[in-house]
Each structure stands twice: as structure tokens, then as C-alpha cells.
């Protein structure tokens, strides 16, 4: 069995407070990204093993795929002796949810392969034990996430605009970004203001701490915001991906090439067409 785990971007991310349990109370609108997905292949075997084509990705029991499989075994009392081959397409540390998507789709695949028929709401509870943003990937649709991210409400949002994503070579650890949010300061001359697209308000409270440390991301956002091909631009999640919402008549390839030439030719990029 082969399944695909799509990436996501955050169209909005509002942090309201730091909770007593150390997590942050938030409200975020999440949009799956078509055409950008990790691939997981499950093959029957004598015992569980995880293989990955990307150097540096752990394949031991610390990987979220391994942890999801072990939790599924524990909670269903069903052994899952599969050889899992993970092919990475979503860059790591990008704010695109690659590892979390992999874990969520492991739950979904095992639910089908074992015939366990666990309701998605129950899978979401299990997923929340592994990470706050894993449950949202189980719903495979645009959704609002609240609480520490575990309260999911699917939405009928229809998104038609193309989005161009850029990621530099460095990663942003999500826990670090949240830990610096409360005491971070805005950079003078950089716009953090909400942006409006088809009655949606786009903003990201984590831009403040991340831009404070990584000035290049602030400059990349400003470059995209100022470009005539762009309708809006901001950071996804905790970064380090910056995305641009393109105008309907924009030349995406021209913007992509210009950004690479003028900002950083080593940027990873992806055009999402909805």
C-alpha cells in the first residue's frame, strides 16, 4: 500500500497566550498543499522497519512514523509488522508539517491495513499525544485548529489562488520559535500587518520572533510583498518557508527565477496550483 502525506501552510496563526502546561493557546487556519507530499509505502514483513531515502532523517524509534505505528499497536492491540519506506519531498524544518503529515498518514494507513476501523476522532486523540499539529493532517482538508492545535474544525474553504513557496537552507525548530514569541520585538521597516485575500485575513504571530533572529526571512517577505506579481506574502507556521500568493495574471516562473537570482539562488521553491 502506498499513501501520500501532503504538506500544509498556515494562512493565519494567532497566539493568544502561553498556557500553564507550557504550550501556547492558538488559532490557525491550515491549508493542504497539492502536489507537495511525502510518500509512504507499506509492505508486509516479519517485523516493523522504517527506511528513508533522505540522509539525516532518523529511521529508529524516534521518528514520528515509528512512534505513530507503536502507539497504534498499543491502542488497538494489533501487531503491525510492516516494512515502511518513506520518500521525502517536503523539506525538513520548513513550517510545512512534513513529519507530522507522515505520522498522521501512518495512522490512516494502519487503520485501513489492519481493518481496525478506528474513528478519525479517536485517531486524532492518539495523534495529539505525539504532537500538537499531527491531528489536523488526519482530516485531509482545510481546517481551523485551536487550543494547542488539537481542536480541529474542518472548513469548506475553497482556495483557487496559486502559491509560490521558498525555503532557505536553514531550518527553524518549532519549540524555539514559540519559546521566543512573548518577548520578541518587531523589526523597524518590516510589515507584520494582516493582509486580506478574498475576505480571509492572513497573518502570522511567529514572524516576530523568527524575523528577529533570521533577518533574511524578513527581507525575503518584503521582496515578495513589493513585487507586482504578488497579492500577499508571509511565513508559514514557525518557518523557515516564506510563501507568496500570486495575482491571477502573474507569471509564476518569472517571479520564481527573479527571486532566486536576487535573493538566494540556493532557495528551495515550489509552485502550488489549486
Give the tens place of pLDDT for each residue, 221-269: 999 999 999 999 999 999 999 999 999 999 999 999 999 999 999 999 9
Within a 10 A sphere around the Cβ of 138, how many other Cβ atoms?
22
**Residue 25 sits in a domain of what CATH number?**
3.30.230.10
pLDDT of residue 148: 80
> Could you tell me if 212 and 111 lie in one domain?
no
Give the tens place of pLDDT for each residue, 66-108: 999 999 999 999 999 999 999 999 998 899 999 999 999 999 9
Which residues does 261 contact at the CB level (< 8 Å), separation at least 6? none
Helices (H) and strands (E) in the chain, counts: 7, 12
> Could you tell me if 43 and 145 lie in one domain?
yes
Question: Using an 8 Å Cβ cutoff, are 244 and 212 in contact?
Answer: no
Domain end residue (candidates: 98, 131, 154): 154
Domain end residue (candidates: 154, 176, 194): 154
Largest CA distance in the chain: 59
Which residue has cell 500544509? 8
pLDDT of residue 34: 85
Q: What global pTM score does this model have?
A: 0.92
The set of catalytic residues is 8, 133
Report how many domains make up the chain: 2
Within a 10 A sphere around the Cβ of 35, how many other Cβ atoms?
13
Residue 164, strand partner residues: 244, 271
**Residue 177 sits in a domain of what CATH number?**
3.30.70.890
Domain that includes residue 175, residue range: 163-272
Give the tens place of pLDDT for each residue, 167-180: 999 999 989 999 99
Amino acid at each position: 500500500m502506498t499513501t501520500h502525506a501532503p504538506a500544509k501552510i498556515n494562512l493565519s496563526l494567532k497566539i493568544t497566550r502561553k498556557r500553564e502546561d507550557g504550550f501556547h493557546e492558538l488559532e490557525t487556519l491550515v491549508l493542504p498543499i497539492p502536489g507537495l507530499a511525502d510518500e509512504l509505502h507499506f509492505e508486509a514483513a516479519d517485523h516493523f522497519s522504517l527506511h528513508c531515502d533522505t540522509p539525516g532523517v532518523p529511521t529508529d524509534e524516534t521518528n514520528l512514523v515509528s512512534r505513530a505505528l507503536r502507539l497504534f499497536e498499543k491502542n488497538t492491540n494489533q501487531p503491525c509488522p510492516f516494512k515502511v519506506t518513506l520518500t521525502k519531498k517536503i523539506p525538513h524544518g520548513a513550517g510545512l508539517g512534513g513529519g507530522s503529515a507522515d505520522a498522521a498518514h501512518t495512522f490512516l494507513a494502519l487503520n485501513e491495513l489492519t481493518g481496525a476501523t478506528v474513528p478519525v476522532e479517536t485517531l486524532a486523540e492518539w495523534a495529539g499525544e505525539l504532537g500538537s499539529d499531527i491531528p489536523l493532517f488526519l482530516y485531509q482538508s482545510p481546517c481551523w485548529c485551536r487550543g494547542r492545535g488539537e481542536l480541529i474544525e474542518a472548513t469548506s474553504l475553497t482556495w483557487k489562488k496559486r502559491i509560490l513557496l521558498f525555503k532557505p537552507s536553514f531550518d527553524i525548530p518549532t519549540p524555539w520559535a514559540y519559546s521566543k514569541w512573548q518577548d520578541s520585538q518587531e523589526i523597524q521597516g518590516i510589515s507584520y500587518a494582516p493582509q486580506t485575500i478574498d475576505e480571509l485575513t492572513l497573518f502570522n504571530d511567529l514572524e516576530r520572533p523568527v524575523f528577529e533572529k533570521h533577518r533574511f526571512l524578513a527581507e525575503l517577505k518584503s521582496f515578495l510583498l513589493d513585487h507586482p506579481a504578488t497579492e500577499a506574502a508571509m511565513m508559514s507556521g514557525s518557518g523557515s518557508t516564506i510563501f507568496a500568493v500570486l495575482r491571477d495574471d502573474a507569471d509564476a516562473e518569472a517571479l520564481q527565477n527573479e527571486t532566486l537570482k536576487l535573493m538566494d539562488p540556493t532557495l528551495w521553491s515550489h509552485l502550488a496550483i489549486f
